[in-house]
Chains A and B, each alone.
Chain A
Amino acid sequence: MSLAAQQAAFGAWLHRADDTAIAPALADARGLAVYQNNYRGSLMACLAEAFPHTHAWLGDEGFEAAAARHIDAHPPSSFTLDAYPKGFVATLRATWPADPEVAELAMLEWHLSEAFVAADDRPLSPNDLAELDWDRAQLRLVASARLLHFASNAPAIWSALAHEADPPAAVVAETPTAFIVWRADFICCFRPASGAEAAVLPGLAEPRLFAELCEDLAGEHGPDEAVGLAGEMLARWMADGLVVAVIG
């Protein structure tokens, strides 16, 4: 048996508990159970650590059953365990299609953990404004920022659970609400995004002239309202540490 065949066979034992191919290659197969236990144990622990509030919302039985099904269906493919939790959101969505708050709670936890280790940035501050050449300077979102849309009140449930308060009952809104998730210094945050913000923020994933952003707002809200909106948003973004100035 080649090394490649042995490793494929060992993988089948870990992922599917199928030892038919690997056992004959071993001098003594009894220790295989240790590896199976380590493999599943580390993935279960990884999901539990990544989704503490989803776990609390579902309870041990529901969460662990969903985690076990996810591990059965999705072997890890990244060198870092930190990447493994991402796919669990889709598993939860498929498992509880009528309860969108479950997957959305997990989606929020996943994006907060992504923001936690996103690239460092130096956000634009009011002190920078006087120095900025607005004809050339472009703005972009900090690397940790992302815009999420929620059909449920998952952010309110998350906040209650994070503060060890009784969570509200799950509610599904008529229209989705947008939230911004980002990291300010080393603290991960989220807050609702206004309708105007939700419209323009996706365009700031890449550097963009502030003047172009104002033109978009003028097209949507009219030139008079656009000026006020742009100023309000820029002030809020600077206060939150949400945007970076890029000099072209």
Chain B
Amino acid sequence: MPLPAPRFGLGLRKPHYAEFLAGDVPVDFVEVISENFMVAGGRPRDILRQVRERHPVALHGVSLSVGSADGVDAEYLRRLRSLVDEIEPAFVSDHLCWTRFAGFQSHDLLPLPYTAATLAVVCAGVDATQNALGRQMLIENPSSYVSFAADEMSEWEFLREMVARTGCGLLLDVNNIYVSGQNHGFDPAAYLAAIPFEAVRQIHLAGHTSREIDGRGMLVDTHDQPVPDPVWRLFAEAIARAPHAWAMIERDDNIPALDALLAELDVARALAQTIDADQQVPA
């Protein structure tokens, strides 16, 4: 169960492969998109093996589809297990969403209605995944752009119940909390106050984009911008409550030079150190 030490990492993305392979990138861990490496062989898998020799790795999936009404896919789990067995990641995560139904794959993280019926489906999916992998899964809170008329509970209530029923961990994405809070009009502070922080093992930081849609301003989780100030403030609150969580920056588009991301990671480190110092109790 205990696995605290490494704390600050980056997502491994193609433009930075060469620097990570050359070594000495000052990160405590790297996170990779699982599906990019669920291949038979070749260069991608070799790169991951080499990076794994230098850094702890977290596997982060986008196609588990834990909220599919027709259940998680056994073949997908078999291939994920094969990758897990080889890479021995520190964490394996995916999202609270659905991406597959009746043979259709969306390749986008789609929203779920927060109902008792959905909770039963998601918990069955988490249980099946944890059984297939033989380890704890982390589930990430999503960004969302619609909500359902049938919702019976808030997202944070849904997450709390999912954790209680399945024993899964949480990957808390503070950008997603901010984005969804702006889009749906909830207070991110209320969200954080309800999170079972003892289950939070990872924290994601990212940027977003503002768009005008049908006359309404919305935030979209684009991962193409630096982490903005409101998200840093949420991070400071989150890392204070989950001081052992591994934190990292996700950047998937408009990817800058590695130094720029490392500078952002230094901000995360500095915030955490300030909080660590504040929490020291004088003898």
Footprint of B on A, CB under 8 Å?
1-4, 6-8, 10-11, 14-15, 24-35, 38-39, 42-43, 46, 75-82, 84, 115-120, 143-144, 183, 186
Q: How far is the CA of A193 from the CA of B220 in the complex (A)?
A: 50
The answer to whether A7 touches B150 (Cβ under 8 A) is: no
**Nearest CB of chain A from residue B93's CB, rounded to whole Å:** 16
Partner of A27 from B46, B67, B99, B149 at Cβ < 8 Å: B149
| Interface residues in B3-52 (C-beta closer than 8 Å to A) | 35, 38-46
Q: Does B2 contact A (CB under 8 A)?
A: no
A28 touches B146 (CB 8 A): yes
Q: Is A79 a contact of B39 with CB atoms below 8 Å?
A: no
Q: Which residue of A lies closest to B42 (CB)?
A: A117
Given contacts A39-B107, A80-B35, contact A117 B40 (CB under 8 A): yes
Closest chain-A Cβ to B168's Cβ sits at a distance in Å of 19
Q: Which of B44, B110, B216 has the most CB of A within 10 A?
A: B110
Residues of A within 8 A of B146 (CB): 26-32, 35
| Contact in complex: A81, B103 (CB < 8 Å) | no
Contact B106 A116 (CB under 8 A): no
Q: Say how far A11's CB is from chain B's closest CB, in angstroms.
A: 5
Residue in chain B with minimal CB distance to A185: B43
Measured CB to CB, the closest approach of chain B to A49, in angstroms, equals 11
Query: What are the nearest 9 A-B pairs in CB distance?
Result: A31-B145, A120-B41, A4-B69, A117-B39, A7-B101, A119-B40, A79-B63, A34-B145, A3-B69
From 96 to 134 in chain B, residues with beta carbon under 8 angstroms from any chain A beta carbon are 98-108, 110, 112-113, 115, 117-118, 121
Q: Are A4 and B70 in contact (CB under 8 A)?
A: yes
Contact B183 A31 (CB under 8 A): yes
A27 engages B148 (CB within 8 Å): yes
Tell me whether B107 and A43 are in contact (CB under 8 A): yes
- Contacting A at CB under 8 A, from B55-100, are 63, 67-70, 73, 76, 98-100
Q: A33-B213, A38-B108, A117-B44 are in contact. Are A1 and B150 (CB under 8 A)?
A: yes
Q: Determine the residue in chain B with the shortest Cβ distance to A11.
A: B104
* A35 and B151 contact, CB distance less than 8 A: no
Given known A-B contacts A26-B148, A35-B145, A79-B73, A7 and B98 have beta carbons under 8 A apart: yes
Between A and B, how many residue pairs show CB distances below 8 Å? 137
B69 touches A80 (CB 8 A): no
Measured CB to CB, the residues of B under 8 A from A are 35, 38-46, 63, 67-70, 73, 76, 98-108, 110, 112-113, 115, 117-118, 121, 144-151, 183, 211, 213-214, 216, 218, 220
B104 with A77: CB separation less than 8 A: yes
B113 in contact with A3 (CB, 8 Å): yes
Cβ–Cβ contact A28 & B147, under 8 A? yes
The docked-state distance in angstroms from the alpha carbon of A31 to that of B98 is 17
Check if A183 sits within 8 Å of B42, measured CB to CB. Answer: yes
CA distance A82 to B112 in the complex (A): 26
Cβ of B68 to closest chain A Cβ, rounded Å: 7
User: Across the interface, do B216 and A30 meet the contact criterion of CB distance under 8 Å?
Assistant: yes
- Given the contacts A25-B149, A28-B146, A3 and B35 also touching, CB distance less than 8 Å: no
Residues of B within 8 Å of A14, CB to CB, are 106, 108
Measured between C-beta atoms, what is the minimum distance from A20 to chain B in Å? 15
CB < 8 Å neighbour of A186 from B43, B211, B214? B43
Residue contact B69 to A7, C-beta cutoff 8 Å: yes
21 contacts between A and B (CB under 8 A): A3-B69, A3-B121, A7-B69, A7-B102, A10-B101, A26-B146, A26-B149, A27-B146, A30-B214, A31-B145, A31-B146, A31-B218, A75-B104, A76-B107, A79-B35, A80-B35, A81-B107, A117-B43, A119-B40, A186-B42, A186-B43
Contacting pair B105 A76 (CB below 8 A): yes
Q: Which of B73, B99, B108, B220 has the most CB of A within 10 A?
A: B108
